[in-house]
Amino acid sequence: MSEKEKAQAFAQDMQPVMEKRIHAEDYNNAVKTITFNKHVKTVPLGGVLVDGYINNDSSLSFEFNLDYGDKTSEGSYTFSKELQKKLGNTDKEPAKIESNSAGYSKNTNNRIMNKNGHSNDLNLT
């Protein structure tokens, strides 16, 4: 199996975990459909980048950075500002999910927060 095929299979296996995170952040019950892009990217440190959007609207986008070593965590993730507004989580603390033992969480304003509480700014424009 090639590295690309391995990444795509891992992303497919992780879809329920990512969907659970998206629904946990949806304070307005706005999510009707979730679409994952078929083309995933691998990152040098052994992760997989998966992106997509909700409700057939590409402006309501998200991106997950999954870790091959952890099949129970959604890793780090970001939501577009439009998606944050739609979900109603712009002023909320990250939702807690019981199965997220790695401690990763999303912070608003297009920042990623890792399990150590360090964050990185992202420019999504």
Helix, strand, coil tally for the chain in percent (to 5):
25, 30, 45
What is the token pair recorded at 61?
């986008």
> Domain 3-114, CATH 3.10.580.10 — does that match?
no
* Residue 69: CA count within 13 A, CB half-sphere: 4
**pLDDT single digits (tens) 77-120:** 999 999 999 999 776 666 666 654 444 444 333 434 444 333 33
Could you tell me if 62 and 52 are in contact, meaning their C-beta atoms sit under 8 angstroms apart? yes
Give percent of the chain with pLDDT exceeding 90.
Answer: 54
Q: Is this structure's pTM higher than 0.85?
A: no
Phi and psi angles of residue 32, each rounded to the nearest 5 degrees, phi first: -105, -40
